[in-house]
Amino acid sequence: MKSNKDYIEFTEKFSANNYHPLPVVLTRGRGIWVWDVEGKKYLDMLSGYSALNQGHCHPRIAGALKKQADELSLTSRAFHNDKMGDFLEKICTLAGYEKALPMNSGAEAVETAIKVARKWGYYKKKVKDDCAEIIICENNFHGRTTTIVGFSSEVQYRDGFGPFAPGFKMIPYDDLSALDNAISESTVGFLIEPIQGEGGVNVPADGYLRKCQEICRKNNVLLIDDEIQTGLGRTGRLFAYEYENARPDILVIGKALSGGFYPVSAIACDNSIMEVIKPGDHGSTFGGNPLASAIGIAALDVIIEEKLAQRAYELGNWFTDELRKIQNPKFKEVRGKGLLIGIELTEKARPYCEKLMDLGILAKETHDMVVRFAPPLIIKKEELEWALDKIKQVFNT
């Protein structure tokens, strides 16, 4: 039998060295559990960066995939298909918007939001040609395209990849007066994460998003809410903005939109904004294809019917309280919402993630000092109790 080490050595021979994964090779997943090639079982507390809110290989989504794979996989948007309408209707109904535009990866959806906001700026707000500005926050993570890394504050994300696209202005996160001051007559949008996931599970002050919305409205600036990681139940609401009733002008979703089967993303907004997009303005060969649409419909149905947002709310509050009870001088802060939880340490988190792995829990550090816990939302309380026991073994001093 080949070991984890064998697979890793073999794979690294051919793979670009762009990740630093934990040394485990997974071969099977069901629900909240995954198994490595040596037969060891782990609780997945990363959930594919929240793409697996519905758990691994959810039978209902797998069924939809298999059925559609035998019917029609791809038409390209040169022709219509009979699934995309149902998918977009579902997104619009759930999120409360008039229109949706489907893409594949999260970064593509963010790019789509940027294009729509800029074109809206020129055609509706009458911003001077080529002057549109979008405000973004320090510590943001919106993906890895050249435009998006160009407005990252993370040195490594940018280093060696310039020159970058202009038109972005950076302000500190959770700073309302910085937003107010940064807005000019050329500002078309403010792009924000309701909680910064990759940035270290940074939760802004209560009321921040609501006040951002007010500032944006007052200045005719689009509030663009990247809920690729926080959305679809993760934080205890279907969308994190619901905590503050701060409905954005453009909503960006991805990750769990497919339950982990396939890259599916989208933006949603009202027609007064989406109508600036004309045939030929934007597109993607795979965006809105029938396979993605069938998967997306099933993935959304599971989130609603299994009440995953409510589960995340109840279990997340309980689990966060329990984590806060752990006495460890290296704990700087336990923070999060729902089942998006980060423990900030006073030292590097990687060794702790490795210890957790030995005990059968897969979690990954983010921003060096933060351990993120984000299990599939189908997890049961007993299973979280089991995890808590292991986490205490690693962190109790």
Q: How far apart are CA 172 and CA 246, in angstroms?
A: 20
293 scored as a contact of ligand PLP (CB under 6 A): no
Return the number of the residue (75 or 145) whose C-beta is nearest ligand PLP. 145
Return the number of the residue (105 or 320) whose C-beta is nearest ligand PLP. 105
Shortest Å, Cβ 254 to ligand PLP? 5
143 scored as a contact of ligand PLP (CB under 6 A): yes
The residue whose two tokens read 């001051």 is 181
The sign of the CA dihedral 309, 310, 311, 313 is: positive
Phi, psi of 42 (to 5 degrees): -135, 150
Return the number of the residue (228 or 250) whose C-beta is nearest ligand PLP. 228
Question: Please, are residues 51 and 105 in contact by the beta-carbon 8 Å criterion?
Answer: no
Report the alpha-carbon angle 97-99-100, nearest 5: 105
Q: Which stretch binds ligand PLP (CB under 6 A): 34-42, 117-125, 137-145, 200-208?
A: 137-145
| DSSP-derived 3-state class of residue 219 | coil
226 scored as a contact of ligand PLP (CB under 6 A): yes
- Catalytic residue flag (residue 255): yes
- Catalytic residue flag (residue 226): yes
* Catalytic residue (one of 255, 286, 337, 373): 255
Strands (E), 243-316: 250-253, 265-269
Q: How far apart are CA 222 and CA 117, in angstroms?
A: 7
Residue of 225, 228, 237 whose CA lies nearest to 198 = 228
Residue of 335, 201, 163, 143 whose CA lies nearest to 154 = 143
Select the residue interacting with ligand PLP from 53, 229, 258, 320 (CB under 6 A).
229
Restricting to residues 87-116, which ones interact with ligand PLP according to CB under 6 A? 105-107, 110
Return the number of the residue (246 or 391) whose C-beta is nearest ligand PLP. 246
Select the residue interacting with ligand PLP from 56, 83, 119, 142 (CB under 6 A).
142
Q: Which residues bind ligand PLP (CB under 6 A)?
A: 49, 105-107, 110, 141-143, 193, 197-198, 226, 228-229, 254
Active site residues: 141, 226, 255
